[in-house]
Amino acid sequence: MANILLIEDSIEAQILIQKSLPDHAIEATKFYQEAVKLLETKQYDLILLDLNLPDGNGYDICQQLKEGTNIPRIPIIMITGQSGVEDRIKGLNSGADDYIAKPFSPLELKARIESVLRRGPTRTDQNQLVFGNLTLKIQEQKAYIHADSKQKQIDLTPVEFKILLKLSQSQNTVPRKDLMHFVWGKDFHISPRNVDTHVCKLRKKIEDASLTIKNKRGQGYFLAQTNVPKPVTSFERELPHSL
């Protein structure tokens, strides 16, 4: 089951699409501004997008998703009454992953959604990692935290970003030696204490996130879920001295 955001101005089209897709969780809105707010605060696997909205244009949403930093990259299928070749090209060029002209067959809609979902998450995974309210944009080497319905960028150094990336890519505890190799390379001489210092600073920078960096004595570091931001004194007490 996928979480789908349906942005469509016709209520009957909304109902029709919802009825056609009983296996998916669909949230619908007819307003552009509401859609942007939903996209900034909730996680969706796919967007079904009509072009003509009462307060905006579907192309703007596509453009915002393509260029913006406040909204995670999500596959988009345009569903619109504009069926000309030029309209289709414009839609695909503005960032849509697929384009369905109205009237559509419910079965075709289902098939296209499955097709886009099959390829969507792979591409998203390659460019972006999401953990709770923390998002890492790999190509841009930037990290963001969702808080109070806003997404704010965390000011990370390249080393801190690499440490966070390495930890987020691993299901297990990452040995300090592996972190050193990943961040600085095997040929670069670096003291293990340097890793601790960077982790300490990084931990402080992500204290508003729903996860934190923990130390498993003698084994290494790992990311752990937490809903309570840690006070500074707490993480200082947990600072590892040796592994």
Partner 1 sequence: MKTESQIEPEILEIVPLFLNSRKEDLRHLEDYLQNKNFDEIKKIAHTIKGISRPYGFPTLEDMSRQLETQALEKQPQEIQKTLHEMKTYLSKYIS
Mark the segment that binds partner 1 (CB under 8 A) among 19-27, 87-95, 133-141, 149-157: 19-27
Q: What residues from 184 to 243 belong to the interface with partner 1 (CB under 8 A)?
A: none
Which H or E element spans position 225?
strand 220-225
Q: Work out the angle between the directed axes of helices 85-93 and 58-67 (0-180°, nearest 10).
A: 30
CB 60 within 8 A of CB 85: no
Assess 20 for contact with partner 1 (CB under 8 A).
yes
Binding test (CB under 8 A) with partner 1, winner from 84, 85, 86, 103: 103
Q: Rounded CA gap, 21 and 17, in Å?
A: 6
Q: How far is the CB of 8 from partner 1 (least distance, A)?
A: 10
CA separation for the pair 215, 224 (Å, rounded)? 10
# chain residues binding partner 1, by CB under 8 A: 16
Indicate whether 22 belongs to the interface with partner 1 (CB under 8 A): yes
What totals of helices (H) and strands (E) does the chain contain, helices first?
9, 13
Nearer to partner 1, 57 or 219 (CB): 57
Residues that bind partner 1 (CB under 8 A): 10, 12-13, 15-16, 19-20, 22, 52, 80-81, 102-106
